[in-house]
A = this chain, B = another copy of it.
């Protein structure tokens, strides 16, 4: 029997606001941060997990990890890992802690860090990367990961199982394909709002040279600026590469439709986060108003109950779940199954700190077990902060190559952790 000996919660922050990396219309000066969790055991493995924030407020997520830890720390590791569905309900079902959510905001971000740390531990114990743990599960085991209470009106768990069974015979072929060519990606590094026109042009040319075919730009500032920047990027990438636009929630419903009219001239594939992440019916109205441009959203979508409704209302055409805002792998598996049921491609949000490391596992699972399709699926990639991880993502020809090391690829280097502890790490001195 393996015991948890400690659950540590660390406040790690990177001073990214100094260079305006990651700036957009809503998030002008983010300091990319992680509420980082280490589940130490007496069994030779430690589970690492994080949730991503952009600076202030990270300490709240760290405190929430500490608040959640007593729900699991007395339970044998084997019991926690052998029924991850029950473990998820244990972490999200505390009646008192539920009040300050439920299943949203700080407490759910912290749940993600802990749940993902348990999945990292499970991968390490089983000697497999997490995507492999997931693709080795039977359909019944996969379905049992998900809390269906508030989801089964949209998708019957029995139907979800049938879908997984349909794809079972061809899993091995897709795993081989992933290992050969990887999962297709796109880059957000070219079009941040804080960059000059010249820097955007240079970054576009460099990205094209590296083989990228999808380009995302930030919009939602002054409309004339948005139009000028869209023209520049479309000039640089030509007519055949895909341009995506991201408004980061700054518009109201009518405003989103109005602003997209002149921007439609630059043939965007989708408009991302056009309005409040909570406004399902507003996104549905925008989707009708900007068609055939698609609506993409999800990085701020708080839980599977919200995604269920976005799908029911045809309010998004590209689903961008976040690996650390949803409550970890279990809830994400539910969202993949729902999206597939509604025929909507999932293109997870990434970037930040460690999100690229996470999403590669998730999208490979989606392709191998759930969607069995790469059509309209690209995985976000941002070329920042990877060198702080023990096993960073490996990119080739604009594709993520499947990680092969055990765990969830999120273990940070001890030196990086020490240097970026907030507020006393070396990166924050002076």
User: What residues of chain A have their CB less than 8 Å away from a CB belonging to chain B?
Assistant: 26-31, 53-61, 63-64, 67, 94-109, 148-150, 152-153, 249, 252-254, 275-282, 285, 300, 302-303, 305-306, 308-309, 312-313
Contacts and interface: CB of A to CB of B under 8 A. Distances in A.
Contacts of A249: 102
Given A64-B106, A254-B152, A279 B309 contact: yes
Contacts of A97: 56-57
16 contacts: A26-B98, A28-B95, A53-B96, A57-B64, A57-B107, A60-B63, A60-B64, A100-B109, A102-B249, A103-B278, A104-B105, A153-B253, A280-B281, A281-B309, A281-B312, A282-B305
A150 B255 CA distance: 10
Quickly give the copy total for this chain: 2
A29 B64 CA distance: 20
Given A103-B278, A150-B252, A95 B26 contact: yes
Nearest to A29: B95
A106 B103 contact: no
Given A278-B303, A280-B280, A53 B100 contact: yes
Contacts of A280: 280-281, 309
A279 B302 contact: no
A366 to B, nearest CB: 23
A57 B96 contact: yes
Given A28-B95, A57-B96, A97-B57, A152 B302 contact: no
